Chains A and B, each alone.
Chain A
Amino acid sequence: MTHVTIVDRIKRSWAITIKDMKIYYIRPPALMFGILFPVALFFTFTVGRNLSPERLIPVLSAQTVFWSASTIGPVAIPMERRLRTFERFLSAPISLIAVLWGKMMAGFIFGAGITTLATVIGILWGNQTVSNPVALVLGIGLSSMVYSAMGILFASIPTGSPGEVIVPLNFVRIPLMFVSGMFIPVENMPAAGQIVAALSPLTHTIGLLNLGTGSSSVFGFAANIGVLLVWMLVFLYVGQMFHKMIMRRE
């Protein structure tokens, strides 16, 4: 019997990541929702408002990581369903979780890469100092993992059209921006709003990025890390479950 070690699984997952990077990073929907959309939203939020760099940089980074990391899965998986290349993974000696992990890593690298670039430009432009590099790196890295997993979860919708995944995903992404302290600080929200904000992963991304650039986090470093980790596991687990359900139906 073949014994597939954890190293073998990682290698096979990584092959999927590299392949996705080659094929999907320059696809129009990935560029549109992964780069143009967060940039446009950032300017919509900042133009005409006299905001300090400490306030602007976390918003810029949070929006970028939120949109870019969650876009690759919803672009790649429906396209692979349409062209039936997704079947290649299902008939290959690789577990579904390893396939989804490979896809998630492609979203993670896309999100983390673009956000790092945007953050560096923001810091240099705002002449800002990084006061907590660990929080900043985790704010970008861990958040990329979370939102990439969120994209994978939505990509379980059995369709061959990326639009049919991105539209319902946007019904979640857009409202989340308004309840996560991005436009209205969490401290200024009503009690119910603060509870929702505490549950939103985006609040904790902003918290970590605030800490990184010298501001404070409403819920604290440990809570930010904990909530993001829980969401990553939930998205990945539920995503895998939905993909399995679809497989049973197909």
Chain B
Amino acid sequence: MTNNNAIEAHGLTKFYGDFLAVDHISFEVEQGEIFGFLGPNGAGKSTTIRMLTGVSTPTEGTAKIMGFDILKHSVDAKSVMGIVPDISNIYTELSAWENLVFTGKLYGVSKDRREKKAEELLQLFDLYDRRDEKTETFSRGMRRRVCIAMALINDSKVLYLDEPTSGLDVKSVRNIRRRIRELNEDGLTIFLTTHNIEEASQMCDRIAIINRGRIAEIDTPERIRSAMESNQAVEIAFKEQTKGTREMLGRLSSVTEVHKRGDKLRLITNDSAQTLKEILQAIDENGLVPVSLNTLGASMEDAFLWLTGSEMESEIIHRRNRRR
């Protein structure tokens, strides 16, 4: 382990009563990295972020933020982080300016520094002209920007973003993503929790996929995607399609699975070229009329579903074996 790590999680575990929400997860995030934390709903993403930020106490394990233990040196650890939770938890009774200044006071930022910083951040996030208005009049996107600005008032070194663009319009999403990239270019480490695979793929240097409280994979988006290259697909639609058509395609030697996707059939294969040959032969022999035919590479979404789906499968098998 080197000193270049902004976040180090060691065996983080959280039980809610008997329910195991996070199961001994360990990972490291390097300084200056955008680290994505992906998982389906209920996978343990928010619980992990709550433990990493000191909001929730881990049942077991610990984490270090810029070298400071979140449990033993919580004041130091918390001083270097900024948090944007999944909802914009700003004080709507206060103005944008008051929200930022209050947060600065809470982090012990000196008066001159917090006022200068608040001004800079409100300008950066295009809120300066409305700084004195109560934030209850702000749109959801504007509140999100206030929330991010509040997380940066203390010159944080690590920024936690929990679903930062969820529920926002396209313009706000682009604006926030652009700002996040700019902040990262200035050296800020970003821990991004999302279930938007495309967002994680576009923005993150590395991604951890969490499922049922366990880390299923940690790698770069491209390596995760390319690990799925063996799982290619051919998608075909026919003018008329029967149950027999699906069964016939399922019997092709190169096809491993057949899934119905709307009016199309998706054939999972290890060799798409061989599958195409076999399909064309089957069309000819059975007198079928194809409407469209496409070959598909593995996407991040496929990788995500495969990683989280296979975990589920193995768990079902494990449970079955246990019952025996």
A22-B94, A23-B94, A91-B83 known; A12 vs B108 contact (CB < 8 Å): yes
B54 within 8 A of A: yes
Q: In the bound complex, what is the Cα–Cα distance between A247 and B57 (angstroms)?
A: 7
Known contacts: A12-B105, A23-B91. The answer to whether A91 contacts B78 by CB under 8 A is yes
Complex Cα–Cα for A1 and B106 (A): 18
Q: How far is the CB of B99 from chain A (nearest CB, A)?
A: 10
A residues near B75, Cβ cutoff 8 Å: 2, 4, 93-95
Docked complex Cα distance between A10 and B55 (Å)? 21
| Contact between A92 and B87, CB atoms less than 8 A apart | no
Closest A residue to B58 using CB positions: A248
Residue from A92, A95, A248 within 8 A of B106 (CB atoms): A92
Binary contact track B74-87/A, C-beta < 8 Å → 1, others 0: 11101101010101
Across-interface contacts of B78 in A (CB, < 8 A)? 91-93
* Across-interface contacts of B85 in A (CB, < 8 A): 84, 87
A249 close to B (CB within 8 Å): yes
Q: Given that A1-B76, A16-B106, A19-B94 are known contacts, is A91 also in contact with B87, CB under 8 Å in the complex? A: no
Minimal beta-carbon separation of B54 from chain A (angstroms): 5
Please name all residues of chain B whose beta carbon is closer than 8 Å to the beta carbon of A85 when the two chains form the complex: 89-91
Across the interface, name the chain A residue whose C-beta is closest to B15: A249
Our pick among B50, B92, B98, B103 for the contact of A88 (Cβ within 8 Å) is B103
The yes or no answer to B201 lying at the interface (CB within 8 A) is no
Q: Report the Cα distance A19→B55, complex, angstroms.
A: 21
- Greatest chain B CB density within 10 A among A12, A19, A85 is at A19
Interface residues on A, range: 20 to 34
Number of B residues near A (Cβ < 8 Å) is 31
User: Min CB distance, A226 to chain B, in Å?
Assistant: 34
Complex CA distance for A11 and B114, rounded to whole angstroms: 14
Complex interface: chain B residues within 8 A of A2 (CB): 75-76, 79
Residues of B within 8 A of A91 (CB): 53-55, 78, 81, 83
The yes or no answer to B198 lying at the interface (CB within 8 A) is: no
- Is A83 an interface position by the 8 A CB rule? yes
Given contacts A1-B76, A23-B94, A249-B16, contact A90 B89 (CB under 8 A): no
B79 to chain A, nearest CB (A): 4
Answer whether residue B138 sits at the interface, using C-beta atoms and an 8 A cutoff: no
Contact A93 B108 (CB under 8 A): yes
Q: A83-B89, A247-B57, A250-B56 are in contact. Are A88 and B106 (CB under 8 A)?
A: yes
Chain B 100-111: CB-based contact to A (< 8 A → 1; otherwise 0): 001101111000
> Which chain A residues numbered 28 to 81 have a C-beta less than 8 Å away from chain B?
none
B73 at interface, CB cutoff 8 A: yes
A83 CA to B79 CA, complexed, in Å: 23
B229 is an interface residue with CB less than 8 A from chain A: no
Contacts of A4 in B (CB 8 A): 75, 108
Confirm or deny: B126 has a beta carbon within 8 angstroms of a beta carbon on chain A.
no
A89 CB–B CB distance under 8 Å: yes
Partner of B79, one of A22, A84, A90, A93: A93
* Cβ–Cβ < 8 Å partners of B103 in chain A: 88, 92
Contact A23 B93 (CB under 8 A): yes
- Considering the chains assembled together, what is the distance between the CA atoms of A88 and B16 in angstroms? 22
14 extra interface residue pairs, beta carbon distance < 8 Å, beyond A1-B76, A84-B87, A91-B54: A1-B73, A19-B102, A83-B89, A85-B90, A88-B89, A88-B103, A91-B83, A92-B78, A92-B107, A93-B75, A93-B76, A94-B75, A95-B75, A250-B55
Closest 9 CB pairs of A and B: A15-B105, A93-B78, A84-B89, A93-B79, A93-B75, A91-B53, A92-B106, A90-B55, A23-B93
A/B interface sample: 8 pairs, CB < 8 A: A11-B105, A90-B54, A91-B54, A91-B55, A93-B74, A247-B55, A247-B57, A250-B50
